[in-house]
């Protein structure tokens, strides 16, 4: 006998579990189905983000940063340490503990909000006689469910190089890169995106010689050019070797090494021999096993589920959010879509402003941005003005001993409305929130400049950059 629900959410990643909670808050009877389990079969809700993405990578970044500070940064503060050692087993164990805490937290939230959780793989099984969708669950919790509304939030998975499968021992996706049992002497990374740069940074700090091969002719093309140039300079100084314009031709592995054949930007044949190779060339939507054809769910040629501006698919009452649909593959984008869909199902007016979704790289220095960058505005032919302020002139950054980078504010030349904010420097991931809020309310650079910021704080750099739009920075 099938169990009936108002809403069934397929996937318990950031988009799915948040959608389930919001729908339950709005009075809906909700079920959430997710297939992630640990080695013992215990459910691990949270999707890629919690299990092998955002959360574990940040845990390793934090631990590796502490290690590097202890080795190289403590002397400046008058702290003498005779020897510093990294216990990789504890390093990885702490990461696993952080992941487990997040898994357990999501399960607690399901219980708190009276959401029925099913551990298993969900797939469509046609429609019931009353027009409701039938969902089959196979796994630990075998079940037959029916629902008036279905939210698909099945996420994405790493894209492999053609003909080169991940073995997660030598050729690694983000999953394997989070569990390397010993620091490799030489580490190769294909792809200078968020995953490649963050995980490359982790193992560089621990002593690996890291080389990053990027196919694009310029570094970090998604970011503002000024930020990208500053980042490349700092990464090189840190010892992270980045080669742009590299066209990978083939990958061969032996019992101990991996050899990458490629052409450099000049068209010259090159080889790179490493102990481990991280492949981070993008991600693809996870739709296999949904049995989409049983209900006629439409997908595009790349495998993404087609949706309209409201995340509605071609099927009535079937929705899709997060990495499985168009737009940036970001956990917070998925969360926003999940909340909006739950509210739309409940008859409310959920909305997502895709123009104010921030992006963040958690390297050191951190990089964040929201809105348009200079190259985009030039292509659009828009008139703009720029204010920029270096962390070198910020008192709090000096006290922290971290003065790399700057804040850039871009505003409309006619109206002063903030069009974009770009930050490279300490705690950029936190500082960008103020910029998002200002842009959400169509604020002007003058608005930021006239807001009283606490002193001494890193946020004063944003204020000074905003003042710089009209060439009236006080401290620079």
- Bridge partners for 277 per DSSP: 171, 188
Q: What is the residue-averaged pLDDT of the chain? A: 97
User: Would you say residue 19 has pLDDT above 90?
Assistant: yes
Separation between Cα atoms, residue 3 and residue 160, nearest integer Å:
38
User: Would you say residue 245 has pLDDT above 80?
Assistant: yes
Write out the residue limits of the CATH 3.30.390.30 domain(s) in the chain: 359-469
Annotated binding site for FAD: 58, 154-156, 323, 329-332
Inter-CA distances, 165 with 53, 248, 251, 253, 286, Å = 19, 15, 10, 11, 17
In the CATH scheme, what is the homologous superfamily, with its name and number, of domain 159-281? FAD/NAD(P)-binding domain (3.50.50.60)
Taking the model in full, what pTM does it have? 0.96
Write out the residue limits of the CATH 3.50.50.60 domain(s) in the chain: 3-155+286-346, 159-281
CATH of domain 359-469: 3.30.390.30
Question: For 386-432, how does the pLDDT look when each residue is reduced to its tens digit (9 = 90+)?
Answer: 999 999 999 999 999 999 999 999 999 999 999 999 999 999 999 99
The runs of H, that is alpha helices, within 253-394 are 331-345, 374-380
- In this prediction, residues 134-151 reach a mean pLDDT of 97
User: Would you say residue 1 has pLDDT above 80?
Assistant: no
Percent of the chain with pLDDT over 70: 100
Which residue among the candidates 77, 422, 453, 455 is catalytic per the annotation? Answer: 455
Strands 133-138 and 143-152, how do they pair?
antiparallel
Tokens describing residue 93: 């164990």
Active site residue 455: yes
In the CATH scheme, what is the homologous superfamily, with its name and number, of domain 3-155+286-346? FAD/NAD(P)-binding domain (3.50.50.60)
What is the per-residue pLDDT for 131? 86
Separation between Cα atoms, residue 376 and residue 19, nearest integer Å:
33
Reported confidence tier of residue 129, pLDDT bands at 50, 70, 90 = confident
Separation between Cα atoms, residue 363 and residue 461, nearest integer Å:
19
Contact in structure between 318 and 295 (CB atoms under 8 Å): yes
- Bridge partners for 153 per DSSP: none
Residue whose token pair is 């006689």 = 129
Strand ranges for 275-378 from DSSP E: 276-279, 283-285, 318-320, 359-361, 366-371
Annotated binding site for NAD(+): 191-198, 214, 282
Q: For residue 311, is it left (φ>0), alpha (ψ between -120 and 50) or beta?
A: left
Annotated binding site: 58, 154-156, 191-198, 214, 282, 323, 329-332
Indicate the SS3 state at residue 409.
strand
Inter-CA distances, 333 with 151, 152, 280, 373, Å = 15, 15, 20, 19
Residue whose token pair is 């890291």 = 210
* 39, HSE (Cβ side, Cα atoms, 13 Å): 1
What is the per-residue pLDDT for 18? 98
Separation between Cα atoms, residue 283 and residue 334, nearest integer Å:
15
What is the per-residue pLDDT for 237? 97
């Amino acid at each position: 006998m099938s169990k009936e629900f108002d809403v069934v959410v397929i996937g318990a990643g950031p988009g799915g579990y948040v959608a389930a909670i919001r729908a339950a808050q709005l009075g809906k009877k909700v079920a959430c189905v997710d297939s992630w389990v640990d080695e013992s079969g215990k459910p691990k809700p949270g999707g890629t983000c919690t299990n092998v993405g955002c959360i574990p990578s940040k845990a390793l970044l934090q631990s590796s940063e502490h290690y590097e500070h202890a080795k190289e940064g403590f002397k400046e503060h008058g702290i003498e340490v005779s020897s510093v050692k990294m216990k990789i087993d504890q390093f990885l164990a702490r990461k696993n503990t952080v992941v487990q805490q997040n898994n357990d937290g999501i399960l607690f939230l399901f219980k708190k909000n009276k959401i029925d959780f099913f551990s298993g793989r969900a797939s469509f099984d046609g429609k019931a006689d009353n027009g409701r969708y039938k969902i089959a669950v196979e796994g630990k919790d075998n079940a037959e469910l029916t629902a008036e509304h279905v939210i698909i939030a099945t996420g994405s998975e790493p894209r492999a190089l053609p003909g080169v499968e991940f073995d997660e021992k030598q050729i690694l996706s983000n999953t394997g890169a989070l569990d390397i049992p010993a620091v490799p002497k030489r580490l190769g990374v294909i792809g200078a995106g968020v995953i490649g740069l963050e995980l490359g940074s982790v193992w560089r700090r621990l002593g690996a010689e890291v080389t990053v091969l990027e196919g694009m002719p310029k570094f970090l093309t998604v970011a503002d050019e000024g930020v990208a140039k500053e980042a490349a300079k700092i990464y090189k100084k840190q010892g992270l070797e980045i080669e742009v314009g590299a066209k990978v031709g083939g990958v061969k592995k032996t019992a101990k090494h991996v050899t990458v054949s490629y052409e450099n930007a000049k068209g010259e044949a090159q080889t790179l021999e490493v102990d481990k190779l991280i492949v981070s060339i993008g991600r693809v939507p996870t739709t296999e096993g949904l049995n989409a054809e049983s209900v006629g769910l439409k997908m595009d040629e790349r495998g993404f589920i087609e949706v309209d501006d409201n995340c509605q698919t071609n099927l009535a009452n079937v929705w899709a959010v997060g990495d499985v649909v168009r737009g940036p593959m970001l956990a917070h984008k998925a969360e926003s879509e999940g909340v909006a869909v739950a509210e739309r199902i409940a008859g409310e007016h959920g909305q997502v402003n895709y123009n104010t979704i921030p992006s963040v790289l958690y390297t050191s220095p951190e990089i964040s941005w929201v809105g348009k960058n200079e190259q985009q505005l030039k292509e659009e032919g828009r008139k703009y003005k720029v204010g920029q302020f270096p962390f070198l002139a910020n008192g709090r950054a000096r006290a922290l001993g971290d003065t790399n980078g700057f804040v850039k504010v871009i505003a409309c030349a006619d109206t002063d409305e903030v069009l974009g904010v770009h930050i490279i420097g300490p705690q950029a991931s936190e500082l960008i929130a103020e910029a998002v809020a200002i842009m959400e309310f169509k604020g002007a650079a003058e608005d930021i400049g006239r807001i009283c910021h606490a002193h001494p704080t890193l946020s004063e750099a944003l204020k000074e950059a905003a003042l710089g739009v009209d060439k009236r920075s006080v401290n620079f």
